Amino acid sequence: MLSPGDHVQIKVTPPKNAEGKEAIVTSGYYDNPDLLWKGNLADWYSTITPDYPSSHSGHFHGDYGYSGTNAGRALTWEAKTDLEVVK
């Protein structure tokens, strides 16, 4: 349970590839821009305010790749959140 004033962060880290290269996140989206999430690519944050919905499900998604690989093929990442806020 979260309360007004609590801070929430969603950080997605796609897996390293077979050669151990770190992923490079190239895009990130949040499907409900009316809520209070801010951020970019795969790093999102919010501060719970008194008017925040008491129950919230979020869907974050985007693309990632590895420097010098993939031959233009984008890989996708996805994260979902379910938050309960005390009212």
Residue 84 · residue 23 · CB < 8 Å: no
Domain map of the chain by residue range? 7-84
The tens-digit pLDDT sequence of the chain (87 residues) is 899 899 999 898 999 988 898 998 999 998 876 667 888 888 999 888 888 888 888 899 999 988 876 556 679 999 988 888 887
- Residues 14 and 27: their CA atoms lie apart, in Å, by 12
pTM: 0.76
